[in-house]
Amino acid sequence: MRISPDLKDKLRKFRKSKRSYYSLIAVTTLFLLTLPAELMFNDRPLVLSIDGNWHFPVFKDYTYKGLGGSQAMAVTSYKSKFFNDFLEGREPHIDVRVLFQSEEPNYDPEALPGPEELARAKPDQPLVTYTQGEPHDVWMLWPLVRHSYKSSYTSTVLPAQRLANPLGRTTGQGKDVPGAFEEGHYLGTDDFGKDVLARLVYGFRLSVGFGLAVAFFGTALGCIIGGLQGYFGGMTDLLGQRLTEIWGAIPQLLLLMLLMDSLSSQGEMSLFGSVLVLFFIVNLTSWMGMSAHMRAQFLRARNLDYVRAAKALGVSDPSIMARHILPNSIVPIITFLPFSVSGSIMALVGLDFLGFGLKYPAPSLGEMLAQGQQYLHAWWILTPTFVVLCALMILLTFVGDGVRNAFDTRFK
C-alpha cells in the first residue's frame, strides 16, 4: 500500500507530538494486554490432566463424568471441596431410596433430592455415603490470578470475603486478620466478594471495546446521514434537519435511562445481550455530532469542480459520494474519533454508575465507582477504579489533541 506524501506529513506531525504518540502506544498496549483476560484472570485451570486425559476448562464446560467420574453433575467450581474430593478418589453416592419408594413408577435412581426430601431423611439412614477409590493422577496449569470477575467460592483463609482489605491488619485485641492478598485477591474484594483486580481488568477491556465500537458505528452512521443531507440538499436536507432537531431536543441521558430501564425489566439477559442492547441504545444519539459536520462538508464539496466533472462523465451519485467527496472530507472523521471513543466510554460508565447500564456481575467501571462511593472506607475499590478511568480519559484526550494538530494546516 502506497502512502501519499500528504499522509506521511500528517503522520510525521503526529509522531512529533511525543505526548500524543506515547499516549496512543500506552492505550493500545493496555487494551491489547487485556484482550486475553480469560487466560490471565480465571477461576478455572487453563489445562487439566486427569489420568493422562487432557482437558481445557477455560474453553469448555465439563461434568464429573466427562472428567472420569461417575456423577453427571456439572463442575461448577474447580476450587471446591467437592472437586478436591473427586481428585482424591472420594466420590459421593446418594441413596435416593431413603427418600423415595422404589416401586414408584417415576423412580429415578440417579435423581438428586431437593431441600424437602433432604428434610425427610431419617438420621439413622445415611443419605450420602462416600467410597474411597484410587486418587487420580492430576496436573493443572492455572492462570496468573485464580479469580475471574464473577468468581464465587468459599474461602478457608479470609474471615469475611465481602469487602476484604488486600492488606492484613491487627485487631484491638492483638489478633492478626489475614488480608485478601493471601487468597490471591491482590486488590481486595468488592461488596459481593468478587476480585477487584479481575473486575478492573475485565471492565477496562469492556469499556474500551464498547467505546471503539460505538465510536466507529456512530461515525459511520453520521457520515451516511450527513452525507445524504449535504449531497442531495433540497427537501432531503430540509426534512433531515427538522427530524434531527426534533430528535436532538430530547435529553439524551434521560432517553438512554428510560430505554435501558424498560428493556432490562423484560427479563434477565446475558452479558453479551446486555452490551448489545446498550450498544444500540447509545448509538441512537451518538451519530448526531458527526452528521452535522459531514453535512457541512458535503454541502461545500457538491458544487466544486471535481464533483461537477464527475457528474458530467456520468459517474453515479453513490460513487461520487464514496470515492470523491468522502476522501476529501476525512479530516473531521479522524479528528473527532478519539473524542467519540472517550465520550462513549463515559456514557457507559455514567449509565452503570446510575444503575441503568450493565447489571451485576457484569464487569463495569461505573458499577465499581458506585460501590466505591457507597463504601468509602473500601479504598481498594474506589482508588484503583478512579485512577484507571482518569488515566484512560487523559490518554485519549492527548491522542485526540495530537490527531487534531496533525491534520491542522496551521500546525507545523
Which three-class secondary structure string do you get for 237-255?
A: HHHHHHHHHHHHHCCHHHH
Domain boundary among 120, 140, 160: 140
Strands 138-141 and 53-55: unpaired
54 and 28 both lie in a single domain: no
206 and 352 both lie in a single domain: yes
User: Hey, what amino acid is at 207?
Assistant: S
User: Hey, what amino acid is at 173?
Assistant: Q
CATH of the domain at 347: 1.10.3720.10
Are the C-beta atoms of 73 and 85 separated by less than 8 Å? no
Handedness of CA 234, 235, 236, 240 (dihedral sign): positive
Q: Cell digits for 98?
A: 431413603
- Evaluate the omega torsion of the peptide bond into residue 113 and state whether it is cis, within 30 degrees of 0: no
CA-to-CA dists, residue 268 to 222, 255, 368, angstroms: 32, 21, 21
Residue 399 CB contacts under 8 Å (≥ 6 apart), including other chains: 20, 23, 24, 27, 338
Report how far residue 85's alpha carbon sits from residue 133's, in angstroms, rounded to the nearest whole number: 10
Report how far residue 35's alpha carbon sits from residue 331's, in angstroms, rounded to the nearest whole number: 30
Q: Cell digits for 324?
A: 470523491
Whether 412 is in a domain gets the answer: no
Report how far residue 25's alpha carbon sits from residue 404's, in angstroms, rounded to the nearest whole number: 17
83 and 121 both lie in a single domain: yes
Which run of H or of E encompasses 103? none
Radius of gyration of the chain (CA): 29
Report how far residue 302's alpha carbon sits from residue 227's, in angstroms, rounded to the nearest whole number: 10
Are the C-beta atoms of 69 and 86 separated by less than 8 Å? yes
400 and 376 both lie in a single domain: yes
326 and 358 both lie in a single domain: yes
For every one of its 412 residues, what pLDDT tens digit does the chain have, with 9 covering 90 and above? 466 777 788 888 889 889 999 999 999 999 999 999 999 999 999 999 998 899 999 999 999 888 888 878 888 889 888 888 888 888 777 666 655 544 444 545 555 555 555 555 555 566 667 778 888 899 999 999 999 998 877 777 787 788 888 887 655 565 677 788 888 899 999 999 899 999 999 999 999 999 999 999 999 999 999 999 999 988 999 999 999 999 888 887 788 878 877 776 666 778 888 888 889 888 888 899 899 999 999 999 988 999 999 999 999 999 999 888 988 888 888 888 999 999 999 999 998 998 888 888 899 999 999 999 999 989 999 999 999 999 999 999 999 999 988 887 766 6
206 and 299 both lie in a single domain: yes
Domain boundary among 95, 112, 140: 140
Report how far residue 75's alpha carbon sits from residue 293's, in angstroms, rounded to the nearest whole number: 54
Domain boundary among 124, 140, 156: 140
129 and 277 both lie in a single domain: no
User: Hey, what amino acid is at 149?
Assistant: Y
Are the C-beta atoms of 199 and 37 separated by less than 8 Å? no
Whether 168 is in a domain gets the answer: no
Whether 221 is in a domain gets the answer: yes
364 and 318 both lie in a single domain: yes
Nearest 5 degrees, angle CA 260-CA 202-CA 360?
A: 40
User: Hey, what amino acid is at 287?
Assistant: W
* CA 323 remoteness from chain centre: 36
Residue 391 CB contacts under 8 Å (≥ 6 apart), including other chains: none
* pTM score, whole prediction: 0.85
Structural domain for 104, as ranges: 47-140
| pLDDT (0 to 100) of residue 111 | 53
336, with CB counted inside 10 A (0-12, 13-18, 19+), is: buried
Report how far residue 236's alpha carbon sits from residue 241's, in angstroms, rounded to the nearest whole number: 8
Which run of H or of E encompasses 293? helix 288-301
Whether 161 is in a domain gets the answer: no
Whether 158 is in a domain gets the answer: no
Q: Cell 436536507, residue?
A: 237
315 and 247 both lie in a single domain: yes
63 and 94 both lie in a single domain: yes
Which run of H or of E encompasses 320? helix 317-320
Q: What is the DSSP letter of 176?
A: E
Whether 18 is in a domain gets the answer: yes
302 and 359 both lie in a single domain: yes
Give the number of domains in the chain: 2
Whether 400 is in a domain gets the answer: yes
Are the C-beta atoms of 183 and 151 separated by less than 8 Å? no
212 and 112 both lie in a single domain: no
| pLDDT (0 to 100) of residue 171 | 58
CA-to-CA dists, residue 102 to 96, 97, 105, 386, angstroms: 9, 6, 8, 61
Whether 176 is in a domain gets the answer: no
